Amino acid sequence: MHVIRKLALLAILAPVGACAGGEVSQSTEADRLALFRADSLFAYETAERGADGWAAHFLIDGVMYPSTGRIDGQGEIRDFMTPALTPDRPSLEWTPTDAAVGAGGDMGYTLGRWVSRVTTPEGGDSTVASGHYVTIWRRDSLGVWRVAVDIGNTD
C-alpha cells in the first residue's frame, strides 16, 4: 500500500487535537473529529477507487469548482474526474488541516493542502502540482457527511 494511503487510513482512525483558542464542547469536538475523519476517508477512498471513490463522497446535487469552471451533480463530477484519477495519471492526495461544524451540526467545512505526484523512473515521488482546498460538507438524510461543494486552487 502506498505510504500516503497508509497515512490517510491512520488519519481516519487517529484522534485529532482540540481546536486552538479555547474550550470546545464535547458534541462540537465530536462533530469536528467526525468531519476530519470524513475528509480523510474521502482521500483514502479516492486513492483506492479513483473517480468512483471521489464521487461517492459527494451529495447527489454536489458542486465542484475546478479551475475550468463549475461541475454540477455527482454523475457529472465522476465523469469529470475519471480521466484525472486513472492509475496511469499522477496521484491526487490531500490532508485536512482544519475543520469546523456549524451550531446546527449539519453543515461544516474542511481546509487543507493537496498534492499531485508521479513516480519517477527511479521509484521516487516527484510533485507535479500542489495547492489548497476548501470543502463544504452537509449531512445527508442518513447523517453521513457528504461533500456539498469542493473548491481548490493551485500554488
How does residue 147 score in pLDDT terms, banded at 50, 70 and 90?
Answer: very high
Predicted pLDDT of residue 7: 39
Q: What is the pLDDT of residue 27?
A: 57
Q: What is the mean pLDDT of the chain?
A: 84
Three-state SS for 64?
Answer: strand
Residues forming beta bridges with residue 149, ordered by sequence position: 63, 136
CA dihedral 115, 57, 63, 77 (to 10 degrees): 80
CA distance 146 to 138: 6
Measure the CA–CA gap between 35 and 40, rounded to whole angstroms. 9
Q: Kindly indicate the confidence band of residue 24, based on its pLDDT and cuts at 50, 70 and 90.
A: very low
Over the stretch 31-71, which tens digit does the pLDDT of each residue have? 999 999 999 999 999 999 999 999 999 999 999 999 889 99
CATH code for the structural domain at 3-154:
3.10.450.50
Provide the CA 12 distance to its chain's centre, in angstroms.
12
Contacts of 123 (CB under 8 A, 6+ apart): none
Residue 144 has pLDDT above 50, yes or no: yes
CB 84 within 8 A of CB 78: no
The pLDDT tens digits for 2-21 are 434 433 443 443 433 334 44
Closest CA to 135 of 120, 150, 146: 150
* Tens-digit pLDDT profile for residues 78-115: 999 999 998 888 889 999 999 999 999 999 999 999 99
* More confident of the two residues 152 and 118: 152
